[in-house]
Amino acid sequence: MSNVKETKECLEFVLRFAEATDRALEDGKFSFLDLPTFMPVMMLLNEAIDGAKEIGGEMASMGEAEKKELHAVIETLNLKNPKHDELAEESLKVMASIVKLVGMIREARK
């Protein structure tokens, strides 16, 4: 079993969301016709949110094999010149911000 399972789920969600957003905006605007692009991505959200708290621990014990697993997630985007470490780092920052924002909203509703 992977030592970066939760990190991979978070990375995949954020990258797929960014990719779907890029596709939806190719014509310069978002419309209802773009919603199906986001449906498969949104199915990844629960697992990403649930596992986000494990990212720190997984990253702390990550070795080269686990790093390659994360790079493999990025490779699925078929980018011409992926900057693996930068994409992974930024994606995980975005996920941390999402989790923090959700927590703040939940707390403010109490």
Residue 39 dihedral angles phi and psi, to the nearest 5° = -60, -50
User: How many CB atoms neighbour CB 61 within 10 A?
Assistant: 9
Those residues with Cβ within 8 angstroms of residue 69's Cβ, 6 or more apart along the chain or in another chain = 2, 4, 8
Contact predicate 52/96, CB 8 Å: yes
pLDDT, tens digit (0-9, with 9 covering 90-100), for 10-41: 999 999 999 999 999 999 999 999 999 999 99
Alpha carbons 108 and 110: distance in angstroms, whole number: 6
pLDDT, tens digit (0-9, with 9 covering 90-100), for 39-64: 999 999 999 999 999 999 999 999 99
Which pLDDT score is estimated for 68?
Answer: 92
Alpha carbons 46 and 9: distance in angstroms, whole number: 10
Which pLDDT score is estimated for 82?
Answer: 85
Residue 21 dihedral angles phi and psi, to the nearest 5° = -65, -45
Alpha carbons 20 and 34: distance in angstroms, whole number: 9
